[in-house]
Amino acid sequence: MKLLGTSFDCADHGGHSHRWAFLQLETDEGLTGVGEWSCSLGGIALVAKTLQLLRADLVGEDANDIERLWHKMYRHYFSLGPRGVVTAAISSVDIALWDIKGKALNRPVYDLLGGRVRDRVLLYSHPQAGTPEEVAEDSVKQVAEGWTALKTDPFRSEVRKRMGVGPGFEIRYMEGALSAEAEETAEAVVRAMREAVGPKIEILIDAHGNFNVPTAVRLARRLTPYKLTWFEEPCPPESFDALRQIRESVEVPICVGERLFTRFDFVPIFRDRLADYIMPDVVLTGGISELKKIATMAESYYIPVSPHNPPGGPVQVTAAAHVMMTVPNFYRQEFARNYLDAHNSVITPALDIRNGCLFLSNRPGLGVELDTDFIKAHPDPDWC
């Protein structure tokens, strides 16, 4: 098992740094599978350490036994609980094992998951953050390229300011409130987007789990006239009771799931009707195996699935897309269009994206290989 991390600046996206983490699993038959566990801030280093510990569980095992190895890794941590850091580590191994199985059988991963129900994966993108005018301008540009759904967080600038963190950091919950001025600005952003792209383009709003119940309810009600497809993570992910209270108070559709781990975390979402859409993350929730299972659970509740991409790297994008090629109850997959060049700098061949859709090839496995020369030339300074 080789762990590869990369960090590099992306000039076309405001100079943001990419911090992506990849894994390569090698078999004694000469096959190599690729996985990914990109996540925010210190999470990458924690997962890297966990993967080094999991190595002992994997060396000498039969790479064909994906389901058994998933359970072996998951049940290894029964005292502290395996969700979060450990499921991120498991995810990257699981994705690499599916890549290996596809290469061994000379079939794309989607064939091994039941075969295709579609020939392309519909995506949604993110307009560049900024003033209402800047967001509207980039939205128009993306619509002209063929994108038909756009997501933004119109609240982020004040939340980041309050937390004293810069644009390269995750925003985090503290008191869960928002000033009247920031609320006004957020509505101005959404209004500018809607006026710029017209009524047919879908607009999704991400609250990043930053708000307390009254704030989330007030914001959702205020933005409802702009015909939102969904209002994402209105409150932090730990309290399903808070989510229920918000859901019962607003009309706008709700989406959650990027910080829910494994099929077990999704049980209350389905059972208690807490969301209209779910957005599991293939590199956090348990990999290709788990994303397929969660999607099938959602299918039985007629809930659409929309894989999350924060943006993680291209292995994450490709792994989730292979699953969505086989999932009937698919909405769209998240993809940050402004990171496309960055994605293509770490893999071969380039992602095939046209008119807001991702097309997968019929190459065996995931169909993408890491450019290890590029990645090694841009190591992540915090843990490599």
Which CB atom, from 326 or from 333, has the smaller least distance to Mg ion?
A: 333
CB of residue 277 to Mg ion, shortest distance in Å: 12
Which CB atom, from 206 or from 265, has the smaller least distance to Mg ion?
A: 206
Please give the size of the binding site for Mg ion, defined by CB under 5 A: 1
174 contacts 139 by C-beta, under 8 angstroms: no
Torsion of CA 177, 310, 292, 234, to 10 degrees: 10
**What span, in angstroms and rounded, lies between the C-alpha atoms of 325 and 302?**
17
- Residue 308 among the catalytic residues: yes
Query: Which residues, numbered 194-213, are part of the site for Mg ion (CB under 5 A)?
Result: 206
Q: Which string of DSSP letters, residue by residue, matches 56-114?
A: HHHTTS-TT-HHHHHHHHHGGGTTT--TTHHHHHHHHHHHHHHHHHHHHHTSBHHHHTT
CB of residue 153 to Mg ion, shortest distance in Å: 8
At residue 68's C-alpha, the angle toward residues 269 and 319, to 5°, is 60
6 contacts 17 by C-beta, under 8 angstroms: no
Burial degree of 84 (CB within 10 A; 0-12, 13-18, 19+): middle
Which CB atom, from 99 or from 233, has the smaller least distance to Mg ion?
A: 233
**What span, in angstroms and rounded, lies between the C-alpha atoms of 190 and 81?**
40
Closest by Cα among 261, 258, 137 to 192: 137
CB of residue 325 to Mg ion, shortest distance in Å: 23
**What span, in angstroms and rounded, lies between the C-alpha atoms of 311 and 18?**
9
CB of residue 275 to Mg ion, shortest distance in Å: 13
Which CB atom, from 138 or from 206, has the smaller least distance to Mg ion?
A: 206
129 to each of 73, 138, 186, 249, how far by Cα in Å?
39, 9, 11, 29
Q: Which two tokens stand for residue 382?
A: 């915090």
CB of residue 287 to Mg ion, shortest distance in Å: 20
Strand partners, 2: 24
- Cα-only R_g, the chain: 20
Which CB atom, from 83 or from 208, has the smaller least distance to Mg ion?
A: 208
Q: Catalytic one among 13, 208, 343, 378? A: 208
Closest by Cα among 300, 297, 317, 296 to 368: 317
Q: Which residue is nearest to Mg ion (CB)?
A: 206
Q: Which helix (H) or strand (E) holds 202?
A: strand 202-206
Which CB atom, from 99 or from 206, has the smaller least distance to Mg ion?
A: 206
Q: Supply the DSSP symbol for 174.
A: S
CB of residue 191 to Mg ion, shortest distance in Å: 21
Binding mask 108-147 for Mg ion (x = CB under 5 A): ----------------------------------------
Which CB atom, from 123 or from 366, has the smaller least distance to Mg ion?
A: 123
Which CB atom, from 99 or from 281, has the smaller least distance to Mg ion?
A: 281
List % helix, strand, coil for the chain (3-state, nearest 5).
Answer: 45, 15, 40
Q: Catalytic one among 18, 308, 343, 378? A: 308
**What span, in angstroms and rounded, lies between the C-alpha atoms of 137 and 337?**
15
CB of residue 258 to Mg ion, shortest distance in Å: 5
CB of residue 151 to Mg ion, shortest distance in Å: 8
Q: Which residues of this protein are in contact with Mg ion, per CB under 5 A?
A: 206
Question: Which residues are tagged catalytic?
Answer: 208, 308
